[in-house]
């Protein structure tokens, strides 16, 4: 019996436990302090009524002989795949139904997709990054090359000609930086990937936060992307499904490597290792895409977007450099006065009772930066920004 020794190469992540420890210490010392949490990466608003209604109806169906559903298709029910297909069509991306695979969320599929690739591929991963991309590749022992995201490139790294890559991770709008690629920039990535015969794994979990016209929500808005990309999306942030679990992955028919269809491989993988998302959850997910569902979800998103706007306006007023906020629930700010990420964390907690996330926890290039999230209430976010202004205003 031999274990997968690559697990020993994973670094234990102490980020959120260290934050929790510091917050607990603070609360013990200041039992009456009114803490404001702007480090939350989870949504806080409940499922919308249209979704709850569809969810309840489907649960009741499961309790009747005529409405009962047993094992469903591994790749998802057509009623939901069709809803996703229409959603893509609304931003002019045409997809055949067979390209769309329903999942229990983006995290699982981002990890599971690696079943399709050999272990000796070279993987390009941004730094800072959503840690799942890195850890899932470390578990398989793949060679990793870091893509430097930094102040100079506005945390939107571009391909370096001459750098060899087989698998490329891109996330836009980005977690943790909130930065969003333009179509022109994504077109450069598509061109680079095609030249290298590489595959782009595109994480669009935050696409619903894109507000500015002309910014891409899907890599498939770029010509030629279907020949070199797989896209992961999620209802977690779009519709508050973090605890309900549903997402979708698009593997285009056109994506072929070594003469083999990746869509066919993914179907084979899913039908072997996955038994689909539960029927009531898929009914609830389909309700998100109805006109009423969309409008109700948009109202929730609007709250987060207004929070992000409020934070962005505050940082602009204070003259602090940041990315994100406009098309993303995340704000990635430069720590003032040359503080490190953890120094600013302590400073903000002690002096203003605000909890955020140190940027260094997402990779070495995050040192000196700090992530704020828009998932608290409007009132708490506004209150936090008033405290920030009082703390950091120069005059
Ligand atoms: N991708 C990114 C970039 C994320 O930030 C997250 C969650 O925070 C996920 C994927 C996970 O999404 P899901 O809840 O669908 O698994």
pLDDT beneath 50, residues of the chain: none
Which of 84, 104, 130 gets mutated to test ligand 1 (max ligand atoms within 8 A of its CB)? 130
Helix (H, G, I), strand (E, B) or coil at 249: strand
pLDDT at residue 194, rounded to an integer: 97
C-alpha 251 – ligand 1 centre gap (Å): 18
pLDDT at residue 195, rounded to an integer: 95
* 0.95 exceeded by pTM: yes
Torsion angles phi and psi, residue 369, rounded to 5: -125, 170
C-alpha 93 – ligand 1 centre gap (Å): 22
Give residues (CB < 6 A) around ligand 1. Answer: 41, 105-107, 130, 171, 175, 203, 205, 234, 236, 242, 247
C-alpha 350 – ligand 1 centre gap (Å): 30
Going by alpha carbons, the residue nearest to atom 1 of ligand 1 is 205
pLDDT at residue 395, rounded to an integer: 66
Helix (H, G, I), strand (E, B) or coil at 102: strand
Atom index in ligand 1 nearest the CA of residue 42 equals: 8
C-alpha 129 – ligand 1 centre gap (Å): 12
Going by alpha carbons, the residue nearest to atom 11 of ligand 1 is 107
C-alpha 237 – ligand 1 centre gap (Å): 8
Instruction: Give just the sign of the alpha carbon dihedral 330, 336, 339, 345.
Output: negative
Q: Which domains, and CATH codes, for the chain? A: 5-47+293-392 (3.90.1150.10), 50-290 (3.40.640.10)
- Please say whether the beta carbons of 150 and 156 come within 8 A: no
pLDDT at residue 246, rounded to an integer: 98
Paired residues of 38 in beta bridges: none
Neighbour-count burial for 189-215, b at 16+ CB within 10 Å, e otherwise: bbebbeebebbbbbbbbbbbbbeeeeb
Alpha carbons 373 and 123: distance in angstroms, whole number: 29
**Residues 6 or more apart in contact with residue 195 via CB below 8 angstroms:** none
């Amino acid at each position: 019996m031999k274990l997968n020794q690559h697990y020993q190469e994973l670094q234990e992540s102490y980020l959120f436990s260290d934050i929790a420890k510091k917050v607990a210490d603070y609360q013990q010392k200041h039992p009456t302090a009114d803490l404001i949490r702007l480090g939350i990466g989870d949504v806080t608003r409940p499922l919308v009524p249209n979704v709850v209604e569809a969810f309840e109806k489907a649960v009741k169906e499961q309790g009747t002989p005529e409405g009962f559903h047993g094992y469903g298709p591994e790749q998802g029910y057509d009623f939901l795949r069709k809803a996703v297909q229409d959603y893509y069509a609304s931003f002019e991306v045409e997809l055949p139904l067979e390209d769309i695979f329903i999942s229990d969320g983006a995290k699982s599929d981002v990890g599971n997709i690696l079943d399709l690739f050999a272990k000796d591929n070279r993987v390009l991963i941004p730094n800072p990054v959503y840690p799942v991309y890195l850890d899932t590749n470390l578990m398989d022992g793949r060679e990793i090359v870091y893509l430097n995201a930094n102040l100079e490139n506005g945390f939107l790294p571009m391909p370096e000609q001459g750098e060899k890559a087989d698998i490329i991770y891109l996330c836009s709008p980005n977690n943790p930086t909130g930065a969003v690629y333009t179509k022109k920039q994504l077109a450069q990535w598509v061109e680079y990937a095609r030249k290298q015969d590489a595959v782009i794994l595109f994480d669009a979990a935050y696409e619903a936060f894109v507000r500015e016209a002309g910014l891409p929500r899907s890599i498939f808005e770029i010509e030629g992307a279907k020949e070199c990309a797989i896209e992961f999306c999620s209802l977690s942030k779009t519709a508050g499904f973090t605890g309900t679990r549903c997402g979708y992955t698009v593997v285009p028919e056109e994506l072929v490597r070594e003469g083999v269809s990746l869509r066919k491989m993914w179907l084979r993988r899913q039908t072997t290792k996955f038994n689909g998302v539960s029927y009531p959850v898929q009914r609830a997910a389909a309700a998100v895409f109805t006109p009423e569902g969309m409008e109700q979800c948009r109202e929730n998103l609007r709250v987060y977007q207004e929070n992000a706007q409020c934070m962005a306006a505050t940082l602009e007023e204070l003259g602090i450099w940041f990315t994100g906020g406009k098309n993303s629930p995340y704000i990635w700010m430069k720590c003032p006065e040359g503080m490190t990420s953890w120094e600013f964390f302590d400073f903000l907690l002690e002096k203003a009772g605000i909890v955020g996330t140190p940027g260094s926890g997402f990779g070495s290039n995050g040192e000196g930066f700090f992530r704020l999230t828009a998932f608290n209430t409007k009132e708490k976010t506004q209150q936090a920004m008033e405290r920030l202004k009082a703390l950091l205003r120069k005059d």
